[in-house]
Amino acid sequence: MNENPGFISVTDENNNKIEIQVIFGFEIPEYKKSYVVYTTECQSPQEEINVNISEYDNNTYEIKSIPEDELDFVMESYNNAKSMILETE
């Protein structure tokens, strides 16, 4: 069971179990992959947070680094999704 509410346990590329707090996720149909935007730290709403983006497997709960050749497109998709979320607030 997670010690931090709102966090989930995942496995990284080195087979380490880590807890992440998911901010949001998105899919890129062209790559047939899912991605997750997350933080690994507990922060209050007033603090700046460092976010990470990783490829995410919904079945195995594994996160992986984004391949270099996909990075620009993933960042563009992330920025578009972030803009849409901020517009609804």
> With bands split at pLDDT 50, 70 and 90, how would you rate the model's confidence at 56?
very high
Q: What is the mean pLDDT of residues 31-53?
A: 83
Mean pLDDT of the chain: 86
Can you give the three-state secondary structure of the chain, one letter per residue? CCCCCCCEEEECCCCCEEEEEEEEEEEECCCCEEEEEEECCCCCCCCCCCCEEEEEECCCCEEECCCHHHHHHHHHHHHHHHHHHHHHC
